[in-house]
Amino acid sequence: MQRFILSKKNLITLIGGFLIVIAYLSKLIIGNLAVFYWALVIASVIGILPIAIQAFQALKVKVISIDVLVTIAVLGAFAINEMEESAIVTFLFLFGAFLEQRTLNKTRSAIKELTEMAPESALKKMVSGEFVEVEVDEVEVGDILLVKTGAKVPVDGSVLIGEGYINEASITGESLPVSKSSGAGVYAGTILENGTLQIVAEKVGEDTTFGKIIELVEEAQDSKSEAERFIDRFSKYYTPAVLILSVIVYIFSRNVELAITILVLGCPGALVIGVPVSNVAGIGNGARNGILLKGSEVIHYFSKVDTIVFDKTGTLTIGNPKVADKMFYTSDLERVLSYLASVESESDHPLGKAILEDIGNTTFYNVENTDVIKGGGIVANIEGHKVVVGNVALMKQENITINESIRNDIVLYEQKGNSLVMTSIDGKIEALIGIRDQIRLGVKEDLRKLKALGVKNLVVLSGDNQGTVDLVTKELGLTEAHGHMLPEDKSKYIEKLQAKGQIVAFVGDGVNDSPSLALAEIGIAMGSGTDVAIETSDIVLMNSNFSRLPHALGLTKATANNMRQNIVIAVGVVIFLLTNVFFSEWMNMSIGMLVHEASILVVILNGMRLLSYKSK
């Protein structure tokens, strides 16, 4: 029966409102006081039922909720024959709850939209070679799927055959379609705007990037910040305090109506709802714009950040370095290039890929005893020769002599902003290669926006040589720059900044920099939706879109301000109502409930403004 009554709350609200209208029409138009009285009685009785059930459920778990206060107040009004008060209070409380739910649903629209974007079916290639429509849950890794124009990509995978343009807004927040052809990666939930693709499934179900985004946004919206936890604790003690205050007022004044009016006006509804609605709306805005904010604690800390530390490669730069300069100290160029390519083929480092791309077709040799030196390079054996490929520090570590002429070349290459890769065969340096990355388009303007938002220190930490890092720093106007930094060096430097009292955010690629991402108050991954980026960071900028960073910071600041505004509104209304109960004659239970419900709607609507937030 309790479940049935609670499921009919909206209908009970409608009936209660209708009866109140009938009551006043009968009194004011035809003067029938009997209909007036009994209509209000019935409205009071049916209106209190769902409220009393919720109060009873709260008391069972030893919580004195707002429903408890309203139930006592309405029963008290009923006992002193204040039918107008009891009927109007129950209606306003139920109607306010209806409006709260309706507007709260709108603040959760981002996650609802994401869920609705989830694909439900796929065209799967069967043994016969035909494509048959199946439910997306039936798709397994390795299946070949057909995606037609206008259809959603059902899983994460890569293109086998075909070309087309895909709208990846659900993943990256970018509305411009992205060209896809053979070998390109595709994400579940994105839409093929034109063309036809055959793709091979690589991740299915909850393992897809889209599935993880939905999961993360749901977890974030359900998380609680320190402010929310404080309000929960506050309400736990505040609500019983209001009940005790009303009892004390009754003992001293013997005024039942005044006591039950205090119960109604002291309800902390706007205070309880104000912070969560801001949190949900802020996270929803981020999800729409390709920014994953992992909870309200992230919003709290990121809004206070005064120092942002960047990794260079793949963050401030595109992450696609190219060979820019090269010098050889040998007459057997073909052998050196073959040895270099053979060693670099053992690595997946971006610099190694750039070298392989530059060398092109060559002879590859069998590489033995490969030793990857973290932050240095590779030491290996080829055809009985010891080959060392790496930076200057590795050459020194391996006791390889660098003569004056080569030192001059090194200085020259560093001044040009190159990352250096040297090749030594049997202790003799044979090649010096300079590799440069391009700075991301628009990064300088984005960094200016971060400064305008209150970030005092912009620091770059990189494994590259100091000359390269200084060049980037000068071009972008950063505060500090430190090169030759291994992952552990970056972590130590962040600890040093934190020891000075700075609140640090670290922006990296989510793979090599995971210790720094975890150590900083806020870890921000330029992740392109990769698993590691999503798992290790507090904020993920989908599709490695650096321009989302100022929007993320502005959004968290706006969300934190919105939370504070809602707290001020909620507390201010309660103080205003209780003050007027004691010091004015116009305040009564019905007016107080009307103002109380209006304050709840005000904080909800104020929070909903965040859904349309745009960075300036």
Confidence of residue 217 (pLDDT cuts 50, 70, 90): low
Residue 502 confidence (pLDDT) above 90: yes
pLDDT of the residue at 292: 82
Residue pair 148/192 in contact by the 8 Å Cβ criterion: yes
What residues pair up with 157 in beta bridges, in sequence order?
Answer: 186, 201
* 3-state class (DSSP) for residue 191: strand
- Range in 5-9, 217-221, 440-444 the model is least confident about: 217-221
Residue 45 confidence (pLDDT) above 50: yes
Closest of 309, 382, 320 to residue 353, by C-alpha:
320
* In the chain, % of residues over pLDDT 70: 87
- Range in 133-137, 202-206, 496-500, 586-590 the model is least confident about: 586-590
Q: What is the pLDDT of residues 280-301, one digit of tens each?
A: 888 888 888 888 888 778 888 8
> 40 or 65: whose pLDDT is higher?
40
CATH 2.70.150.10: which residues of the chain? 120-154+156-203
Mean pLDDT along residues 254-258: 81
Angle, CA 120 vertex, CA 119 and CA 123 arms, to 5°: 90
Residue matched to tokens 């937030």:
613
pLDDT of the residue at 503: 93
Mean pLDDT along residues 449-465: 89
Tokens of 564: 């504070």
- CATH superfamily, domain at 278-313+439-558: HAD superfamily/HAD-like (3.40.50.1000)
Mean pLDDT along residues 414-434: 90
- Range in 347-351, 530-534, 582-586 the model is least confident about: 530-534
Alpha carbons 435 and 442: distance in angstroms, whole number: 22
Sign of CA dihedral 169, 174, 177, 179: negative
| Helices and strands, number each (H, E), in the chain | 23, 20
Residue matched to tokens 């899983």:
155
- Which CATH number describes the domain made up of 120-154+156-203? 2.70.150.10
Residue 450 confidence (pLDDT) above 70: yes
Residue pair 153/189 in contact by the 8 Å Cβ criterion: yes
Q: What is the pLDDT of residues 334-387, one digit of tens each?
A: 999 999 999 988 877 778 888 998 998 888 999 898 888 877 889 999 999 999
Residue 456's φ and ψ, nearest 5 degrees, are -85, -35
Residue 103 confidence (pLDDT) above 70: no
Q: What is the pLDDT of residues 129-172, one digit of tens each?
A: 899 999 988 899 999 999 988 888 989 899 999 988 888 766 65
Is residue 311 part of the annotated active site? The answer reads: yes
Q: What does the mean pLDDT of the chain come to?
A: 83
CATH 3.40.50.1000: which residues of the chain? 278-313+439-558
pLDDT of the residue at 583: 80
- Tell me how crowded residue 131 is: count the other CB atoms within 10 A of its CB: 16
Residue 602 confidence (pLDDT) above 70: yes
Residues 6+ apart with CB under 8 A from 523: 505, 506, 508, 516, 517, 536, 537, 538, 539
What CATH fold (topology level) applies to the domain 322-436?
Calcium-transporting ATPase, cytoplasmic domain N (3.40.1110)
Residue 306 confidence (pLDDT) above 70: yes
Confidence of residue 426 (pLDDT cuts 50, 70, 90): very high
Residue 69 confidence (pLDDT) above 60: yes
Mean pLDDT along residues 36-48: 88
Confidence of residue 117 (pLDDT cuts 50, 70, 90): low
CATH 3.40.1110.10: which residues of the chain? 322-436
Alpha carbons 604 and 272: distance in angstroms, whole number: 11
> 1 or 252: whose pLDDT is higher?
252
Confidence of residue 529 (pLDDT cuts 50, 70, 90): very low
pLDDT of the residue at 171: 64
pLDDT of the residue at 328: 93
Q: What is the pLDDT of residues 483-494, one digit of tens each?
A: 888 777 888 899
pLDDT of the residue at 119: 81
Catalytic residue among 67, 311, 464, 538: 311
> 421 or 516: whose pLDDT is higher?
421
Mean pLDDT along residues 224-229: 61
Residue pair 240/64 in contact by the 8 Å Cβ criterion: yes
pLDDT of the residue at 249: 83
Please tell me what DSSP assigns to residue 444: H
Highest mean pLDDT among 75-79, 173-177, 292-296, 377-381: 377-381
pLDDT of the residue at 512: 60
